[in-house]
Amino acid sequence: MNGLYVNYIKRALPLKQLALLLILSTFAITAGFILYNNLSKDIKILDNGKPTVVKTMGVDVEQALSGLDITIGPGDYISKPINSVLNADGLNVISIKRAVPVNLTIDGRHQTVMSYKDTVEEVVKENGIDMGPLDRYEGVDPNDPVEAGIDIKVVRVKEEILTEQEEIPFTVVQKPNNAMNDGETKVVNEGTSGIKEKYYKITYEDGKTVDRSFVNEKIIKTAISKVVEFGTVMNFKNSRGEVVRYSKALKMKATAYTASYVDTGKNPGDHGFGVTYSGIRVREGVIAVDPKVISLGTKVYVEVPGSTPDYGFAVAADIGSAIKGNLIDLYFDTPSMVKKWGRRNVVVYILNEQSDTRWKQNDAPWQN
């Protein structure tokens, strides 16, 4: 068959014409090859680091990639603009980084984004997320490499100082008052509560409180103590309802005497008749005591337990040879009263008010 075709050409064309045809065909092929070499561009494509080196007749990047069936997806990175013209001289290098899906959680919102970035921190910045000074990543570190399907969570952290006021209760100070009766009280100064401010650091994560810690406290108003005076003077109410103030109580035996000769060995008109050892004249309200137990001049009140009336207010102004220890002798005006008295158990109260122990003739011991 081929032989017949060649023979046909030889018969159809003269030898010279055949030679010319062969020359022209060779020239055309060579010229076309030269033209292709002159018009094509050398490109090197790094697709996720995988190199491909080819020639292309494409004018720009888009045509070159289209001719190679290479597409750019959403989020992919390409080192040259898609419409940039290819350089006819030298090697055109085009780098492509393929984006992968990233699960991003921030400010309570969840979204999946496409990113070609290498690290977690770069993805966060790429999506316009500003990290606050206290914000943190959860489950990942900022320098972790990005892989398809990685979960990146940013936790917003906020701290604030909370101030709370607390009442400071005032204290009650009790002071003795030696001029007041036992059982009596008097408010000298009403107390005032103070105010204390306490400071707490509150930590929020994504708007929720996760920690509360005490920082400091300051007193902004000092409490003022309430001052209450209480009486220290012992006292009681006598049979007549009078308040008797005393400093000491003695349980004693009490006898009675008059100024008669039987009791004193003196008659009216005798020197010193009716005059006590301390120099005052006897009368009811004068008692004889043992000075070692009750000093002369001491004001007292003589109570008869379970009996009324009491002997009452008196002054220790006399002594007696038989009056020793816890024994006193009460003066009465008449022998019948002395006889009626006899000998009794009494309580002798040493009165709190001892204004003057230098008794005179006209002193009235029952006047206190």
pLDDT at 271: 82
Mean pLDDT of 219-246: 91
pTM: 0.54
- Report the sign of the C-alpha dihedral through residues 274, 278, 279, 283, in that order: negative
CATH number of 100-155: 3.10.20.90
Confidence of residue 343 (pLDDT cuts 50, 70, 90): very high
Tokens of 171: 């204290």
One fold for 41-97 and 100-155: yes
- Annotated domain spans of the chain: 2-38, 41-97, 100-155, 163-230, 238-351
Region label for 31, one of left (φ > 0), alpha (ψ between -120 and 50) or beta (otherwise): alpha
Burial-class residue 133 by CB neighbours within 10 Å (0-12, 13-18, 19+): exposed
Confidence of residue 359 (pLDDT cuts 50, 70, 90): very low
Confidence of residue 32 (pLDDT cuts 50, 70, 90): very low
> What is the arrangement of strands in the sheet containing 77-78, beginning at the earlier edge strand?
50-56, 41-47, 91-97, 77-78
Q: Which of 14-28, 154-168, 170-184, 352-366 reaches the highest mean pLDDT?
A: 154-168
Each residue's pLDDT tens digit, 63-74: 989 888 999 998
Q: Which CATH superfamily is domain 163-230 in?
A: Resuscitation-promoting factor rpfb. (2.20.230.10)
The helix, strand and coil proportions of the chain, stated in percent and rounded to the nearest 5, come to 15, 45, 40
pLDDT at 141: 96
Q: What is the dihedral of CA 119, 120, 125, 128, to 10 degrees?
A: 140
Each residue's pLDDT tens digit, 114-124: 999 999 999 99
Q: Which CATH superfamily is domain 238-351 in?
A: RlpA-like domain (2.40.40.10)
- Answer yes or no: is pLDDT of 144 > 90: yes
What angle do the packed helices 15-39 and 2-12 form, to 10 degrees? 110
Distances, alpha carbon 297 to alpha carbons 90, 159, 233, 347, in Å: 136, 80, 20, 18
Confidence of residue 15 (pLDDT cuts 50, 70, 90): low
CATH number of 41-97: 3.10.20
